[in-house]
C-alpha cells in the first residue's frame, strides 16, 4: 500500500540558510499535517492543511511557512535557519473512513543546521 | 490543557517477557487514541488505533486498551522479542481551539534483551 513520502530524507544546512521539505500524502487523503520532533522530544504539531487550505496552526515559527498544492503535496519552507531548528520533521496524512480518523506518518526528514 | 504522560520512560526486559506500557491523559474528551512505534531516527509507525467508544484493539502480539473515564490506555506486548526494541508513543486526538489535534506523550523506550 502507498505510504506518505517525504523528501529529502536528510538535509544539512548552515545557519541563516533556507530549506524546503516536501511531503506527498497517501492518495485520497484530504489532510496533511507537519510535525517537528527535536532530539529526545515528542513530536510537536506545526501546521495542517485540509483540501489545500490551511486548517490549523500550532507552534510554527514565523520564519516557517507551508502550503499545499493542487496535487495535494505539501511543502514546508524554512528561512533564516537556526541551530535549534535541527530536528526530525514529519508529515502525516489523514483520512476519515466510516467515522474513524487516523493519521499515517511519513519517514521524516532529518534536518541538521550547522 | 491536555497532557499525555507515558510511564515508564524506559524499560529493559529479557526476551519472552510479557509487558505493559502505560499512557495517561488529563482530558477524557478524546476522539481517539493511537499507539505508535518509532525506531531510532526513523518515522512513526501506527500500531493500533482505539476510537473513544472502544475498549480495546488487538493486532498480533499487541493489545491496546482504553479507559476513557479514567484517562488511561495500556499497550500490552506479549512474548516480547528483540525486534520489539523501539520507542513507543501514544497520542490522543481531541478537539482543541475548534480543530482536531494529535497530542503525543513523550514515549517509552523499550529494550528487549536477547
What pLDDT digit, counting tens, does each position of B16-53 carry?
999 999 999 998 889 999 999 998 878 888 899 999 99
pLDDT surpasses 70 at A1: no
Q: How confident is the model at residue B10 (pLDDT cuts 50, 70, 90)?
A: very high
In this complex, the residue of B45, B51, B100 whose CB is nearest that of residue A100 is B51
**In chain B, what residues touch A107 (CB-CB under 8 Å)?**
42-43
Q: Report pLDDT for A96.
A: 75
Q: Report pLDDT for A32.
A: 94
Average pLDDT of span A59-81: 94
Residues with Cβ < 8 Å from B75, sequence gap 6 or more? B20, B21, B23, B35, B47, B48, B62, B63, B64, B88, B90
Q: Report pLDDT for A21.
A: 98
Indicate left, alpha or beta for B107 from its phi (over 0: left) and psi (-120 to 50: alpha): left
Looking at the complex, does the CB of residue A33 fall below 8 Å from at least one CB of chain B?
yes
What pLDDT digit, counting tens, does each position of B89-103 carry?
999 988 877 777 889
The cell numbers describing B34, all together, are 493511537
Residues A64, A54 contacting (CB under 8 angstroms): no
In this complex, the residue of B43, B51, B97 whose CB is nearest that of residue A105 is B43
Q: Quote the mean pLDDT of chain B.
A: 92
What pLDDT digit, counting tens, does each position of A4-46 carry?
999 999 999 999 999 999 999 999 888 899 999 998 888 999 9
Q: Report pLDDT for A42.
A: 86
pLDDT surpasses 90 at A78: yes
Average pLDDT of span B66-88: 95
Amino acid at each position: 500500500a502507498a505510504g506518505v513520502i517525504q523528501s529529502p530524507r536528510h538535509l544539512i544546512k548552515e545557519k541563516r540558510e533556507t530549506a524546503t521539505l516536501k511531503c506527498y500524502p497517501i492518495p485520497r487523503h484530504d489532510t496533511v499535517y507537519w510535525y517537528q520532533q527535536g532530539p529526545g522530544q515528542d513530536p510537536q504539531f506545526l501546521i495542517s492543511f485540509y483540501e489545500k487550505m490551511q486548517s490549523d496552526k500550532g507552534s510554527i515559527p514565523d520564519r516557517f511557512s507551508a502550503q499545499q498544492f493542487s496535487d495535494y503535496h505539501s511543502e514546508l519552507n524554512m528561512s533564516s535557519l537556526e541551530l535549534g531548528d535541527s530536528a526530525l520533521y514529519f508529515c502525516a496524512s489523514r483520512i476519515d473512513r466510516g467515522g474513524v480518523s487516523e493519521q499515517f506518518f511519513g519517514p521524516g526528514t532529518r534536518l541538521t543546521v550547522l | 490543557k491536555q497532557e499525555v504522560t507515558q510511564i515508564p520512560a524506559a524499560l529493559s526486559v529479557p526476551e519472552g517477557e510479557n509487558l505493559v506500557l502505560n499512557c495517561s491523559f488529563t482530558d477524557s474528551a478524546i476522539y481517539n487514541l493511537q499507539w505508535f512505534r518509532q525506531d531510532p531516527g526513523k518515522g512513526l509507525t501506527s500500531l493500533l488505533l482505539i476510537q473513544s467508544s472502544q475498549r480495546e484493539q488487538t493486532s498480533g502480539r499487541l493489545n491496546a486498551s482504553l479507559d476513557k473515564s479514567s484517562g488511561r490506555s495500556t499497550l500490552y506486548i506479549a512474548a516480547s522479542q528483540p525486534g520489539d526494541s523501539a520507542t513507543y508513543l501514544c497520542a490522543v486526538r481531541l478537539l482543541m481551539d475548534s480543530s482536531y489535534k494529535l497530542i503525543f506523550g513523550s514515549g517509552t523506550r523499550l529494550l528487549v534483551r536477547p
